[in-house]
Amino acid sequence: MSETNSVFVAVGRRKTASARVRLVPGAGNITVNGRTPDAYFSGEQYLKQALQPLDTVDFKDKVDVVARVAGGGPGGQAIAVAHGIARALLKVDPELRVALKRAGHLKRDPREKERKKSGQPGARKRFQFSKR
């Protein structure tokens, strides 16, 4: 990593969650919205999901991560943070692309919530059919 441009910024998204991630060379300190990841992500599963790209390329102790997350729920936010970390790692070292892509960290999950249609109780659900 070059010292002249040592802050790497990227955005990760999932559903309605959006995460702005900054990677700085450091000792492996991680903060999400000003808190530790253990305090922010309530479940062990979400914490593991959010930090998976760092484990994939063994960068956990080499960079400090500062993430700002907004929107969505805890699951979407965790995947948004992971997506942002993966994109920022790509800026740190383009050689990591193969490993990150093989693990599936660079693909944005395109699934969004379908809107509710008028005259129906939900997005897909129809009212019960009555012949008489």
Q: Looking at the 3D structure of the chain, how many domains does it have?
A: 1
Q: Is residue 91 part of a domain?
A: yes
CA 7 remoteness from chain centre: 18
Contact (CB, 8 A) for 52 and 105 = yes
- For the chain, how far is it from start to end, CA to CA, in angstroms? 73
Tell whether 129 is covered by a domain. Answer: no
Domain assignment present for residue 130? The answer is no
CATH number at residue 98: 3.30.230.10
- Indicate the pLDDT class of residue 132, thresholds 50, 70 and 90: confident
CB-CB contact of 100 with 91 (8 Å): no
Instruction: Catalogue the long-range contacts made by 101-107 (C-beta closer than 8 Å, 24 or more residues apart).
Output: 103/52, 103/53, 103/56, 105/52, 105/53, 105/56
Position 2 pLDDT exceeds 90:
no
For residue 119, being part of any structural domain is answered with no
- Across the chain, mean pLDDT equals 93
Give the pLDDT mean for 46-56: 95
Tell me the chain's radius of gyration from C-alpha atoms. Answer: 18
Range of the domain at 16: 8-103
